[in-house]
Amino acid sequence: MTKDETGPLRLDEAGARQLDAADPGHRHLFHVPPAEGGRHPEVAYLAGNSLGLQPRATRDELLADLDDWRRLGVEGHLEAGRPWLPYHELLTAPAARLVGALPAETVVMNSLTVNLHLLMVSFYRPAGERTRIVIEDSAFPSDSYAVRSQARFHGLDPDATVVRLKPRSGEDTLRTQDVLDFLAAEGHTVALLLLGGVNYLTGELMDIAGITAAGRAAGAVVGWDLAHAVGNVPLTLHDWDVDFAAWCSYKYLNSGPGALAGVFVHERHLGDPALPRFEGWWSTEAATRFEMTPVSRPPATVEAWQISNPPIFAMGPVRTSLELFDSVGMPALRQRSLRLTGYLERLLDEVTAGRPLTVVTPRDPARRGCQLSVRIGAGSANELTKRLRHEHGVIADAREPDIVRFAPVPLYSTYHDCWRVADALAATVEVSA
């Protein structure tokens, strides 16, 4: 890619450098891995939708918590720099701000699929003809396995219970209208609607507010898997009236592999004694927890869904990351995300023309976050990402058989990273004969 583009946006390498100088982001706050291939010292990291990069602050913050344990032993529960007993509360307010929730509605705990199960214990209550769980056909497999196992847990046939909404024939992404039409026709059979806020494969951002309203109006409970939405797009879960949501923290939240996840339960469900929940000693109110009584006294907050005492060293990186999001702010990140992803899209328009490559993510910026997914018409997605990495130092991620995902993450990705993607694709994928 060397030629200049018409219009104000220059699509050559020097143009990318200029854009970076004018719109630098926060890359300096992150460790960017060295490249193993290509002519640039650092990788062009476009896989933050899979695993985010390590913030520079994380290591020292984690070491400070570790030192408290070395110094204090059990006394750290009350005397650590950040005492361990109430440690999880440090994460609550910034997590709530990130997802547009009240602090009482938000807690960081466990991992994503575990949380989905714990939430379904409360919110999937099949009864009468209302037994079905609706997901998208391209739901992340873990969600599919989770809902199918929930159906079995209730003695139901998963094939009959789980409805998989498919895009129209010849289309790659689900239309909101199709979800609404399904609910209008069959909503009376739906116990739970559980969709991905941003689809992991296509990068499509769903109309969370509209679908939630329609699902609830149809009498269903509406939950969202926000793994690919949190830290990627602005969320206002409380105002959208979402019943529940869960997300992980290792993608856009940069909290490390398998990091602790987050949960939202809408205020209207808090303190409801009719809701079944699984309990442990962290489900009871903090004030009387150490009275060691046999019967719990759950608080009227989402903390009633906690079970075990939280892992301090796993919470540290989430806390560090949430503080970073708080200091930069989601509105500013979204604006930069729109600029970066729009730029990558322009580059991909050039490079896909004449090559067996198709962007399947919606073109409307309001219907996507930062990820652009490319379908490859020939060869394997895994092979292509390997070549991008080893020959060009570009880290993307493959979803077999034919999708390669590129996510310019507004915190640390650069315009030059985007340029490198297009340059590497142009060099790696041959023009169709």
Residues that bind ligand PLP (CB under 6 A): 111-113, 140, 142-143, 196, 200, 225, 227-228, 248
CB of 112 to ligand PLP, least distance (A): 4
Cβ-count burial 349-384 (b if 16+ within 10 Å, e if not): eebbeebebebbbbeebebbbbbbbbbbeeeebeeb
The closest residue (CB) to ligand PLP is 113
Written as six digits, the tokens of 224 are: 């969202």
Query: For residues 280 and 205, what is the distance between their CA atoms, to the nearest angstrom?
Result: 35
Q: What is the DSSP string of 137-170?
A: TT--HHHHHHHHHHHHHTT--HHHHEEEE-PPTT
Residue 267 Rama label (left phi>0; alpha psi -120 to 50; beta): alpha
Q: Which CB, 107 or 227, lies closer to ligand PLP?
A: 227
Q: Nearest distance from residue 268's CB to ligand PLP, in Å?
A: 25
Of residues 49 and 301, the one with the C-beta less far from ligand PLP: 49
**Least distance CB 113 / ligand PLP (angstroms):** 3
> Between residues 143 and 303, which has the closer beta carbon with respect to ligand PLP?
143
> CB of 221 within 8 A of CB of 191?
yes
Q: Min. distance of Cβ 251 from ligand PLP in angstroms?
A: 7
Burial of 118 (0-12, 13-18, 19+ CB in 10 A): buried
The least distance separating ligand PLP from the CB of residue 420, rounded to whole angstroms, comes to 25
User: Of 405 and 416, which has the nearer Cβ to ligand PLP?
Assistant: 405
261-265 and 357-359 strand pairing = unpaired
Nearer to ligand PLP, 136 or 243 (CB): 136
Task: Give the residue with the Cβ less far from ligand PLP, 50 or 352.
Answer: 50
Give me the least distance between CB of 10 and ligand PLP, in Å please: 35
Sequence-distant contacts of 332-336: CB under 8 A, at least 24 apart: 333/231, 333/410, 333/411, 334/233, 334/234, 334/410, 336/23, 336/25, 336/410
Shortest approach of ligand PLP to residue 227 CB, angstroms? 4
Six-digit token string for 400: 């077999």
Identify which of residues 203 and 316 has a Cβ nearer to ligand PLP in the complex: 203
